[in-house]
């Protein structure tokens, strides 16, 4: 499997391009601010053709470039219906600080021409890849993760976790649509049930694994052994 990623824009949200190998169709995960050029560079380098854009959630730092990327390659944009409204109205999901920063400029957002909605437990076959969708609300109502079988580097699968799970942290829940109790339920049901050897590619920061986070992430440890933790969450 070919996975190339880069941090996009002022929020440094990770954008990933995923394919079975060079010269094939590919998926683009979370094309954030100014991500179109980075995607184009990877596509050209590896002779790829994007056929779908997968969004882990509707926050603008993860979907800023979804319309130009989808339009440039005639690719379908996939998003959970609970976050679909954010494609055209990203201000509805922003913090006050982020909204103030964006309001200093002139920005227009609109849905891509081709949008498909994601369901919990859905199995997608795209670009020669098998992708499993888990609805993981808490950071936003429509947050999802994407998992694909992976047989390299000792990992059984790779999960694109968006702003659900980071190295040593979890996504913030104080933005519109966020809910801390829901986030904790999601972590118990959709993260702690996964095998330790699942590689985690988060929406911000570096790669980790379920096993590493189970052992060291204070939020997950709080759920498993009752330790109290007052640590800072992350995300837009």
Q: How many domains, the chain? A: 1
Helix axes 35-46, 66-73, angle to 10 degrees: 30
Task: Take residue 196 and report the two structure tokens written for it.
Answer: 């330790």
Q: Where are the beta strands (DSSP E) in 9-63?
A: 13-19, 25-29, 49-54
pLDDT < 50 positions in the chain: 227-230
Task: Tell me the C-alpha to C-alpha distance, in Å, between residue 178 and each of 32, 163, 231.
Answer: 20, 11, 17
Q: Which residue has the tokens 């200093």?
A: 104
Say if 233 falls within a structural domain: no
Q: Cα angle vertex 34, ends 33, 37, to 5°?
A: 145
Q: Characterize the bridge pairing of strands 49-54 and 25-29.
A: parallel
Domain that holds residue 55: 2-225
- Residue 230 forms part of a structural domain: no
Asked whether residue 93 is domain-assigned, the answer is yes
* Domain-embedded: residue 130: yes
Residue 46 domain-assigned (yes or no): yes
pLDDT at 107: 75
Predicted model pTM: 0.92
For residues 36 and 65, is the Cβ–Cβ distance under 8 A? yes
**Residues 121 and 189 sit within 8 Å (Cβ to Cβ):** no
For residue 101, what pLDDT is reported?
63
pLDDT at position 234 is 64
What is the CATH number for 211? 3.60.15.10
In a domain, residue 235? The reply is no
Structure tokens given for 173: 């829940």
- Tell me whether residue 234 is in a domain: no
Which among 159, 141, 143 is positioned nearest to 55, based on CA atoms? 143
């Amino acid at each position: 499997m070919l996975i190339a990623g880069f941090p996009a824009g002022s929020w440094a949200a990770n954008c990933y391009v995923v394919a079975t190998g060079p010269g094939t169709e590919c998926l683009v995960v979370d094309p954030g601010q100014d991500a179109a050029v980075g995607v184009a560079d990877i596509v050209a380098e590896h002779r790829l053709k994007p056929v779908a854009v997968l969004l882990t959630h509707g926050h603008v730092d993860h979907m800023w470039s979804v319309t130009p990327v989808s339009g440039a390659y005639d690719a379908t944009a996939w998003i959970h219906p609970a976050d679909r409204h954010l494609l055209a109205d990203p201000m509805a999901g922003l913090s006050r600080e982020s909204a103030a920063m964006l309001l200093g400029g002139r920005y227009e957002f609109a849905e891509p021409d081709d949008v498909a909605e994601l369901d919990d437990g859905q199995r997608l076959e795209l670009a020669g890849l098998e992708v499993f969708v888990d609805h993981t609300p808490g950071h936003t109502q429509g947050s999802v993760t994407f998992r694909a079988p992976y047989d390299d580097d000792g990992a059984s699968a790779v999960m694109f976790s968006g702003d659900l799970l980071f190295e040593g942290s979890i996504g913030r829940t104080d933005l519109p649509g966020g809910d801390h109790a829901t986030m904790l339920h999601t972590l118990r049901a959709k993260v702690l049930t996964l095998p330790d050897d699942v590689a985690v590619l988060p929406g911000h920061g570096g790669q980790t694994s379920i096993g590493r986070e189970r052992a060291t992430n204070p939020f997950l440890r709080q759920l498993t052994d009752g330790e109290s933790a007052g640590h800072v969450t992350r995300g837009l």
